[in-house]
Amino acid sequence: MEQQNAISEPKVWFITGASRGFGRVWTDAALKRGDKVAATARSLASITDLKEKYGENILPLELDVTKPEQIKAAVAQAHAHFGKLDIVLNNAGYSLVGTIEEATAEDVRALYETNIFGTLGVIQAALPFLRQQGYGHILGTSSGLGHVTLPVIGYYCSSKWAFEAIHESLAAEVLAFGIKVTIIEPGAYATEFGSPESLKFAPGLDIYADFKAQFVERLKNSERGDPNATPQALFQIVDAENPPLRFNLGSHNLPWVRAAYAERLSTWEKWQSVSESAQGSLK
């Protein structure tokens, strides 16, 4: 198999959700540093200005990640156009706002169609090309909410927990092919993720109205990071010989996750004797 050239050369990225938020910031930053990007978005008009700015280094592609055939065509076109794919970055996604009782099955299915099945479609379409190359780096934009949860956006959190598990299994499965996997876990950032384009709302029940209003108010007052401060950290990940499987983006996640896991360990240990009593023996 062809091995990746050790000499520094421009990397080729395939990025979903490149029209706004982290996708837009990272697409622009990768192009600025001289890399090449197959930038995808549901609307080509939202990324045409990048083509005007960066010329042949960018391949704008229309892509709705809920359409499997469109995914396969976009990945194949990007690989044929640039001759390789170094980095496949799944960034497309949105959040469903609603309590566990309020959201309908249709709401949740739609969320998973984008956040999970869309991501899987891109990964499965890219893997044959990456295996043939003998190298590649799959990145996925998860969240600190892939380890902890918040109310009102529990279904979004659940999609990120699934996202984390899928990528962790994937990392073990593709290691022998020279393919790396990294889960990017941002904390709260001042991106467009809170915009109407990135949020869908489940039908509300009056009984939860006050609780949800208080929750939203807390979110509004929370400290947020600057998305434009993130590209250099991302580049250190993709340029590393041995990148981490998980990478916290920002300063807020680690204390939060550390406390959550400490509480879980404490609870498991407190109930350890009861747990072990349920083991039994077949001897």
Place of tokens 């566990």: 100
Give the whole-angstrom CA distance, residue 202 versus residue 106.
10
Helix pair angle (105-112, 154-174), 10° resolution: 30
The beta strands (E) that lie in 3-124 are given as: 12-15, 36-41, 58-62, 87-90, 95-97
By DSSP bridging, strand 87-90 and strand 179-186 are unpaired
Give the whole-angstrom CA distance, residue 183 versus residue 248.
9
Six-digit token pair at 258? 């550390």
Q: Which amino acids are annotated catalytic?
A: 142, 156, 160
CA-closest candidate to residue 98, choices 160, 158, 155: 155
Please return the burial class of 201, using the count of CB atoms within 10 Å of its CB with bins 0-12, 13-18 and 19+. Answer: middle
To 5 degrees, how large is the angle CA 73–CA 32–CA 66? 25
Please return the burial class of 50, using the count of CB atoms within 10 Å of its CB with bins 0-12, 13-18 and 19+. Answer: buried
